[in-house]
Structure 1
């Protein structure tokens, strides 16, 4: 009889790349590690990626969004988390802090590159680029 071996499992998350008409991008400063990142989180089993990004961005920032398109897939090789970056536009609400976000800000794309770790900033630059769907791997901070 073969012994059953439990393999590690992946987690699937979404990152909302929310862009205002003036080009600014919605960012949160995480409560747990103090880093600026796009809002997002783990998908629930019963929701689509677009439903999940709407829920997560609203929960973390108070901003309701309309998803526009999938921009890329990003895997943390350290944690086994695959995050789908989805370009969105804001439709309602004002930015506010939450349990997960000690600060919420609209950043210019150049500020995003300075404020966010490379593995998060690339999601924004990819979403703002023409060129289709990007697939990248990272270690949680830097691209691999």
Structure 2
């Protein structure tokens, strides 16, 4: 029976509208901070842990903004809108850079599947559910 992996990501937005992103150490891509959810961990706790580990920023989770499935890898990502509550930007073993981007910079800096997560989180409508192949969104059935 195939297994799925569940990951979490935080779209952390400052009062000035800038969004927290990292450049991943393993592949050099710019993404919202996040990672694999631990087996005994609540999704909200996982996103708080991952953002702190990868960026040095403490957050408060506000709401779920989207569910994204990588169809080629079987990874389901739960994405949350968050706000910073403390800490200082710092890189980690998983990040080579930590930046705050303006929303219009997201589309030129990130690949489609990560940019859409940020843009969906900034949209105040109901959570979005999308599938992708690892690089591009897939059309709904």
What SS class does the counterpart of residue 103 from structure 1 fall into? strand
Give me the TM-score of the superposition, normalised by structure 2.
0.96
The count of corresponding residues between Structure 1 and Structure 2 is: 138
Give me the TM-score of the superposition, normalised by structure 1.
0.94
> Mind listing any 5+ residue stretches in structure 2 that lack a counterpart?
none
Partner residue of 1:59?
53
Partner residue of 1:99?
93
Q: Deviations over 1:2-59 (max 9, x none)?
A: xxxxx12000000110000000000000011100000000001111110000000000
Separation (CA, whole Å) in 2 of partners of 1:16 and 1:116? 15
Larger Rg: 1
Structure 1 segments, 4+ long, off by >2 Å, are none
Q: 1:17 aligns with which of 11, 21, 45?
A: 11
> Mind listing any 5+ residue stretches in structure 1 that lack a counterpart?
1-6
Separation (CA, whole Å) in 2 of partners of 1:141 and 1:114? 14
Supply the RMSD in Å over aligned alpha carbons. 0.6
